[in-house]
Amino acid sequence: MKTYLNNLWIAFSALINVLVFNGSPIESFSSRCYSEPRPKTMLLINKIIFWQNNHCRGAFAHDMKMAVDAVQSAKDKNIFRLP
């Protein structure tokens, strides 16, 4: 149940990234605030999610790991092809 709720939160965050920033649907709102950077928004998010040390940086690292894992999975299934 915890994983399901976490995945829902990540999906909602990605939706916010698309709606607010016209960003990529595979990047979370917090990650986008870190990668841009948007210091005031990052500060606000990090204060709201106070139980995580530097949430936005962690969200960026998580999004990057998910991208690397997706590419590796495609390579493992032999479906990854460069143009």
Cβ–Cβ contacts within 10 Å for residue 47, how many? 9
Give the pLDDT mean for 44-58: 94
pTM tops 0.85: no
The pLDDT, as a whole number, for residue 83 is 66
pLDDT per position as a tens digit, 61-79: 999 999 999 889 988 888 8
Rg of the chain (C-alpha set): 14
pLDDT per position as a tens digit, 21-49: 899 999 999 999 999 889 999 999 999 99
Q: Is residue 23 within 8 Å of residue 17, measured between CB atoms?
A: yes
The pLDDT, as a whole number, for residue 11 is 94
Euclidean distance between CA atoms 39 and 42, whole angstroms: 5
Cβ–Cβ contacts within 10 Å for residue 25, how many? 10
